[in-house]
């Protein structure tokens, strides 16, 4: 039972941080997927991005326009999508986090399916400190 309240400005700062993380989530998910598509298929097509993100093509198209505006991707009309260096860097960072969270969940006994689902949402809310703690536990488990 909670019978005290945290400091006002600290609590506000935490909520603000979570909201900021949300704003970058779509970007991270898109660049990570685009990078995967390029490495597996040789290119990233809108149709594949949309179907894998589970959205319609116009929705994916609009999001990609924003990513291009913000400097994460490049593309010519009707052509496949490329990552800028910034986009590639973000994709790498994002995939790394995603992978650590996924492996961590497996390590503590979560099923593969649940680990896949949960890591997709959790990866965006895990600080470097928590990531470090996760890595340590993975390492310890591998050493056995």
Q: Give me the residues that bind its own copies (CB under 8 A), please.
A: 1-6, 8, 10-19, 21-22, 29, 35-37, 39-41, 51-55, 95, 105, 108-111, 114-118, 120-122, 124-127, 129-130, 133-134, 136-137
On whether the CB atoms of residues 114 and 101 are closer than 8 A, the answer is: no
Given its own copies, DNA, none, residue 74, with its beta carbon under 5 to 8 Å by kind, binds none
CB of 66 to DNA, least distance (A): 5
What's the CA gap between 89 and 110, in Å, rounded? 29
Nearer to its own copies, 22 or 71 (CB): 22
Least spacing, CB of residue 65 vs its own copies, in Å: 19
CB hemisphere CA count around 106 (13 angstroms): 14
Instruction: Give 18 or 86: the residue with its C-beta nearer to its own copies.
Output: 18
Q: Considering CB distances under 5 to 8 angstroms, the limit depending on partner class, which of its own copies, DNA, none binds residue 17?
A: its own copies
Closest among 54, 77, 66, 86 to 23, alpha carbons compared: 66
The token pair at 102 is: 């996924």
Least distance from DNA to the Cβ atom of residue 45, Å: 4
Binding site for DNA (CB under 7 A): 19, 23, 25-26, 45-48, 53-59, 61-64, 66, 75, 77-78, 80
Tokens of 84: 């800028």
Q: Which of 34, 35, 39 is nearest to 53 (CA)?
A: 34
Give CA–CA dist 120/97, Å, rounded. 10
């Amino acid at each position: 039972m909670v019978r005290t309240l945290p400091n006002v400005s600290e609590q506000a700062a935490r909520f603000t941080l979570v909201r900021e993380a949300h704003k970058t989530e779509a970007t991270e998910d898109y660049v990570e997927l685009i990078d995967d598509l390029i490495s597996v298929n040789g290119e990233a097509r809108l149709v594949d991005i949309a179907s894998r993100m589970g959205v319609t093509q116009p929705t994916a198209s609009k999001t990609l326009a924003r990513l291009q505006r913000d400097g994460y991707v490049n593309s010519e009309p009707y052509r496949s999508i490329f990552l800028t260096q910034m986009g590639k860097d973000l994709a790498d960072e994002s995939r790394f986090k995603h992978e650590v969270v996924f492996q961590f969940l497996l390590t503590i006994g979560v099923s593969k399916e649940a680990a896949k689902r949960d890591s997709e949402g959790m990866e965006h809310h895990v600080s470097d400190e928590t990531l470090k703690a996760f890595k340590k536990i993975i390492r310890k488990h591998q050493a056995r």
